[in-house]
Amino acid sequence: MNLPASNSPFALPPERDACAIIGFIKKLGTPTHGNLQRTIDALIKMGHRAGEIRGEGDGCGVLSDIPRLLWRERLAQSGYAADLADAADFVVAHLLLPAEAAAPEAPLRDAILQLFAAAGLQIMVERPCPVRSEVLSTGARQAEPFFWQLACQGPAEGDLDKILYDLHLALETKLPVHVASLSTQVASYKVLGAPELLARYYPDLKRRDFLSALTIGHSRFSTNTLPDVLRAQPFSLLGHNGEINTIARLARRGPAARHGTASRAAAIRRTSTEFSKD
C-alpha cells in the first residue's frame, strides 16, 4: 500500500497511543447475543490500546440496544405486561449514584423519582443493577458507584426524546447523578477496569437472552486525566474524544493548522471534481 507523502494534504498523523473503539452492526437489524459478545472480545484483543495505572484499567464499556427480553422478564415479575418492553415509549435509565444511595431510604433516590414524575414518566421497575463487586481492583472498589436501573413508561403526549434529554440535564445539574444512559433505544454498561472485567462485573452481559443488533465498545487510554468510572465510555450517545492534548496541539499550530485544514479541504474538492470527469 502506497501512503501519501508527509507533505500531502491526505497525510496521516503520526501513530500515537489512543483509546480502543469498536462497533458491530447487524445490517438486517436482527439482534443477537453474538453481536454483544464479539464487541467485548474485540475490546479484550485491543488491550494494547487501553491504559492502566498500577495494573488497573482506565475504564471501558459497551453501548447496546436495550435488552428487551431481559426487561420482559423483569416487567412480568413485577406484575406488568411483558410486551410493554417492546413499546415505543418504554424507557430504561442507567444511573450511577454515590455509594451511600444504595440504601433504599436514601434521600437522593426520592429526589430522582420526583424528577422522573415531574417529567411525566411512570416508574414500573426500579432495582440495583446486578454486579459482582469482588472482581474489581482495590481502587475501583473504593470508588464504586451504586448502579440504579429504572424502567419507565413515557407520557402519552409530548416529544419523548426531548423529555428525556431535558430530564438527563436536570438529573446531572441538580443532583449528584451520572446518567450512563436514559433512552428508549440504548443502554450503557461501563466499569473502571480492563475489558476482561466487563462481563464478569455485569452478569447480565453473559446472558444468552441479552440481544443487540448494534453494539459499540470503548476502552479508555487516559492521557490527561486520572481514571474514573464516570469518564469511562461509551457515553449515552456515543462518546470518543481526542483529549485535551489534541486541542492544545491545534492551538500551538494556530493559523498554520487552519491553513492546513483549508488546503486539505481544497484538495478533496479538486480530487472529487477530477473523479467526476472520468
Residues 69 and 211: beta-carbon distance below 8 Å: yes
129 flagged as catalytic: no
Residue 272's pLDDT band (boundaries 50, 70, 90)? Answer: very low
Instruction: Give the bridge partners for 150, in sequence order.
Output: 93, 126
Residue 46's pLDDT band (boundaries 50, 70, 90)? Answer: confident
CATH for the stretch 20-241 = 3.60.20.10
Residues 237 and 256: their CA atoms lie apart, in Å, by: 33
- Comparison of pLDDT for 16 and 200, the residue scoring more: 200
**Range from 1-10, 50-59, 133-142, 216-225 that averages highest in pLDDT:** 133-142
Judged by DSSP in three states, 94 sits in strand
Percent of the chain predicted with pLDDT > 70: 68
Write down the pLDDT at residue 274.
Answer: 38
Asked if the model's pLDDT at residue 276 lies above 50, the reply is no
- Comparison of pLDDT for 245 and 133, the residue scoring more: 133
Residues 48 and 19: their CA atoms lie apart, in Å, by: 9
φ/ψ (deg, to 5) at 15: -65, 135
- Comparison of pLDDT for 86 and 60, the residue scoring more: 86
Sequence letter at residue 199:
A
DSSP state letters, 118-161:
HTTPEEEEEEEPP--GGGS-HHHHHTPPEEEEEEEE--SSS-HH
Cα separations (Å) of 258 from 6, 33, 253, 263, 267? 17, 45, 8, 9, 14
Within 10 angstroms of residue 75's Cβ, the number of other Cβ atoms is: 20
CA nearest to 151, candidates 127, 186, 115: 127
Residues 43 and 189: their CA atoms lie apart, in Å, by: 14
Residue range 50-67: average pLDDT?
A: 74
Q: Which of 19, 60, 129, 152 is catalytic?
A: 19
Residues 87 and 204: their CA atoms lie apart, in Å, by: 21
Mean of pLDDT over the chain: 81
